[in-house]
A and B are shown apart, each in its own frame.
Chain A
Amino acid sequence: MDQNKLKRHHIMRSLILAGITALLAYLILSETLSHYLAPRLHMFSYVTLVIMGLLTIVSIRQIFVGSSVYDCDCEEQHKVPRTPMGSLLVYGLFVLPIVMGFVMPDKILGSDVVEKRGITLLSNDVRKLADVTANANANVNATENVEQTAEVKEDAEPIVEPQPEVTNQGATPPVQATNDEQLRQRFSNGGFGDFYTDIAVFLHKQPVIELNDKVFLDGLTTMELYAKEFAGKELETMGFVYRQPDFTKQQFVVARFSVTCCTADASVYGVLVEKEDANKWAKDSWVKVRGKLELRQVDGYDMLVLKASQVEAVSAPKDPYVYYSFESVPGS
């Protein structure tokens, strides 16, 4: 292998390394890194940026002093591709993410991906969803029936006080007679650990539960665990609109992607929303929904459905994904 060929490889490598460095810098500066990685991994990317910068310098240095560093007859063993086709393939593979990163526009994950992955709804998995929909289709009065069931259920629990019906949605919600201690008592017998008890108390205390980005996942899990206790509570949340083919016109899911490390591990969580004119909102558009939680019984499972009173279109947040915190209850 002659020196010039080796030199060409070094030039190609330097260009690629410089490209990767530039791409990383671009993602960090334009704050789009969170479309790809969870915040706890951002630190690693900053370090990577520095290291890639250093590697670029080393590689550029190799172009000029390469012959003196590798001043021996053993170039064959250095791992450069041997044939032109080989180099085309290998370097093309490295060029691919750089080109994609710079040229293709950013898109946050949406309904197309949800369809491939399935969605985890409040208190239920996707297989049960079909049954809920079927119920809603079959019986116009289903809602009322289920509501009654829910109330009966609540009556059966000795410490649970039934929520009074609120007809006027704008009115202030019923004042909670229970204090923190009683709430704790109520949520601690599920055996789900202190963490969820804390969250449950934190959420239940609020007159209108605000399911924001910080508590979205933990909040959903908590409400799933204590579905009966949360029935009748008012809730406000935000997410993108997702529909399945078997949904009625009154239904959509307000969904969020949860990301643990990178989007490959993204999974979808959401709340089933019902509203008369629900089909007004296009899929993948972002909405803020406010309404009242309602308990449904499906195959012996409890499932919470949000009867929306208010839906408004909003713009997608800067960081479209939600994350588990697992550390502390926000605001407590």
Chain B
Amino acid sequence: MILKIRQFLVEIIGALLLGLSVVWLTMGRDSSLFSGWSIKWSPLWLDVKTFFLSIWLEAIPFVLLGVFFSAFIQTFVTEEQVRRWTPKHPLVALPFAGLLGFLFPVCECAIIPVVRRLIQKGMPLSVGIVFLLAGPIVNPVVLSSTYVAFARQPEMALYRGVAGFVVALIVGMLVFLFVKKNPIRLGMESQINHEADHVKTTGGKLSSTFAHAVDEFFDMGKYLLFGAFISALLQVYISRDTLMDIGQTPLTSNLVMMGMAYLFSLCSEADAFIAASFANTFSSSSLLAFLVFGPMLDLKTTLMLFGTFRFGFVVKLVVAITFLVICVTMLMPM
């Protein structure tokens, strides 16, 4: 008994120590360890805090939305329903998934738990992947914000929609043709059956929905937090000019813009405004690469994908998306 209490204390103290060490690290070098609350913070670290909390606070509502939407599907939508609603023939089903964003306008934070749940409920993997990639781009909210941000180049919204749709479709095709093994991470399969058992045994649908929401909040939340923190650090310590100096030829400028989209981890609703602020410095084609790549893949969503799918599958997915986005945006007549 005493041993257990001690273990418990160790964990609490450990968490506190970690917090304190962060506090200590973030202090200016010239201040003493315990100078009370009037610590002289290094201004750069205060900026890290601002970015970190900001990205996190922005994403939480949408992650929660995704979590609850997924819990809702889990509790109320049966597997037969998912199978019935999904078109049978892949040539119909894949474009259908690409346009699903018009029905469910979710951004990239919310879509991963939803797609994971839909795949577990029997949606074919290729269809789920197309929805995962196209959903955060081909939807009315994102396209209208792009239209607004590019006031002088309104056709950018159209290009963005088309390019996102095409890339998602091709990746879906590749998945349909080449991925035969279920890439959902080990344990997820049994977990879903197991969750269904809970619903049956406890009967309380609402309380089980909430209990699972807590689980999933911590599950997705850790990837989100880690991604947001790295992104905040990079934004404070890496200058945009450094990146711009690399990106001078057509290929490298596309790559640099994609790299920025990946690191910044912006919400797909807002990234168009950032892209527009680069309009003077970068070619339209590389801006398009930024707009298409960012919602499909960024630091925080990659971590969330690793939490959902097998390692090898995520790596292949990342390679395929990167390659296709470069090709499609370079070939886009604009």
Interface residues of A (CB under 8 A from B): 4, 8, 11-13, 17, 24, 27, 33, 35-37, 41, 44-45, 47-48, 51, 54-55, 58-59, 62, 69-72, 74, 77-79, 84, 87-88, 90-97, 99-101, 103-105, 107-110, 112-113, 115-118, 120, 125, 127, 192-193, 195-196, 221, 258, 260-265, 267, 324, 326
Contact = CB atoms under 8 A, between A and B. Distances in A.
A252 B281 CA distance: 23
Contact of B50 (A45, A55, A84, A263): A263
B229 interface: yes
B35 interface: no
Size class of the B contact interface (CB-based, 8 Å): 35 or more
Given A51-B64, A97-B53, A262-B267, A69 B202 contact: yes
Given A69-B202, A116-B239, A264 B265 contact: yes
Interface stretch (B167-175, B211-219, B326-334): B211-219
Contacts, number: 206
B185 to A, nearest CB: 11
B249 interface: no
Contact of A17 (B61, B214, B231): B214
B53, B194, B264 — most chain A CB neighbours (10 Å): B53
B270 A261 contact: yes
B231 A45 contact: no
B324 to A, nearest CB: 25
A84 B277 contact: no
A36 B23 contact: no
Contacts of A260: 270, 273-274
A97 B64 contact: no
17 contacts: A4-B8, A24-B57, A36-B54, A48-B64, A62-B214, A71-B201, A72-B198, A79-B218, A92-B15, A97-B56, A99-B22, A101-B49, A112-B44, A115-B239, A116-B235, A196-B151, A258-B273
B334 to A, nearest CB: 19
Nearest to A99: B19
B226 A79 contact: no
B159 interface: no
A172 to B, nearest CB: 34
B89 interface: no
Given A47-B61, A95-B15, A104 B210 contact: no
B155 interface: no
Contacts of A84: 7, 10-11, 14
A96 B51 contact: no
A300 to B, nearest CB: 14
B218 to A, nearest CB: 6
Contacts of A58: 207, 210-211, 213-214
Contacts of B23: 99, 103
Nearest to A108: B50
Interface string B42-86: 011111011111111110111010001000000000000000000
B225 interface: yes
Contacts of A72: 197-198, 201
Contacts of B64: 48, 51
B240 to A, nearest CB: 5
Contacts of B61: 41, 44-45, 47-48
B180 interface: no
Given A84-B14, A118-B241, A265-B274, A109 B56 contact: no
B92 to A, nearest CB: 35
B317 interface: no
Given A74-B197, A84-B7, A88-B14, 12 more contacts: A8-B8, A8-B11, A70-B198, A93-B229, A99-B22, A112-B47, A262-B58, A264-B231, A264-B264, A265-B271, A267-B273, A267-B277
A8 B271 CA distance: 40
Say what secondary structure dominates the interface of chain A.
helix
Given A45-B57, A88-B11, A261-B267, A116 B238 contact: yes
Contacts of B264: 264-265
B52 A97 contact: yes
B46 A104 contact: yes
Contacts of B280: 120, 125, 127
A35, A55, A87, A221 — most chain B CB neighbours (10 Å): A55
Interface in B272-322: 273-274, 277, 280-281
B187 A77 contact: yes
A41 B58 contact: yes
A265 B273 contact: yes
B181 interface: no
B290 to A, nearest CB: 12
A62, A77, A125, A192 — most chain B CB neighbours (10 Å): A77
B41 interface: yes
A79 B194 CA distance: 13
A4 B8 CA distance: 9
Nearest to B4: A4
A67 to B, nearest CB: 13
A127 B239 CA distance: 15
B270 A262 contact: yes
Contact of B225 (A44, A55, A97, A267): A97
Given A54-B210, A96-B229, A116-B240, A264 B277 contact: no
A59 B210 CA distance: 9
A178 B18 CA distance: 67
- State the 8 A-B residue pairs at the shortest beta-carbon distance, nearest first: A44-B61, A262-B58, A92-B18, A125-B280, A261-B270, A107-B46, A36-B54, A263-B54
Contact of A267 (B12, B26, B274): B274
Contact of B236 (A74, A113, A261): A113
A33 to B, nearest CB: 8
